Amino acid sequence: MEVIDEARSCSKVPAVLREGLGWPVARIAAAFAAAHNEALAPLGLSLRTFAVLATVAGGSVRSQLEIAHNVGLDKTTLVATIDDLERRAWVLRKPDPDDRRARIVEITRAGQTLLQRAADSVRATEHRILGGMSEEHIAQTKASLIALLSGPLFEYFDRAGSCL
């Protein structure tokens, strides 16, 4: 138990790692992904499939290429993910009337129902994880992270690979 308490406090993490943002953000992202994957697994989803399904449901991003870029997945991984979602009848692909080489991905009614249940599960998980933080602190943290994502870090998206 002592080892876990020390790891939790980060007391043995070298100062050079604690001084920057990269290490804690990476650790937080990995922990959030693990928590979300655990919460979504009973629904047959992962954080990756949830993100793709949510992006498709949003409606503003329709082609596979746009979805891949928006979610941060390479094309091969995205196609495999959409194949899985389509096999389960949660999305369907249609030819793009403006580009016969492209496919438009749409969410099905079953996919919409599943997405709502998954979103509820994700919210409950985040509420549990962030329970000790005030709503104001959570909102400020989200705003700061979104600002980071849309600032200078944006140029690294294509090189970063996926965290999903």
Domains defined for the chain, CATH in brackets: 19-160 (1.10.10.10)
The per-residue pLDDT for range 10-36, each reduced to its tens digit, is 777 888 888 888 888 888 888 999 999
Burial of 16 (0-12, 13-18, 19+ CB in 10 A): exposed
Q: Is 89 left (phi over 0), alpha (psi -120 to 50) or beta?
A: left
Question: CB-based contacts of 117: which residues, under 8 Å, 6+ apart?
Answer: 43
Say if pTM beats, i.e. exceeds, 0.85: no
Secondary structure letter of residue 133 according to DSSP: S
State residue 96's pLDDT score: 84
Which structure tokens are listed for 23? 């290490």
Note the pLDDT of residue 3.
44
Q: What is the pLDDT of residues 67-112, one digit of tens each?
A: 988 888 888 999 999 999 999 999 999 988 888 888 889 999 999 9
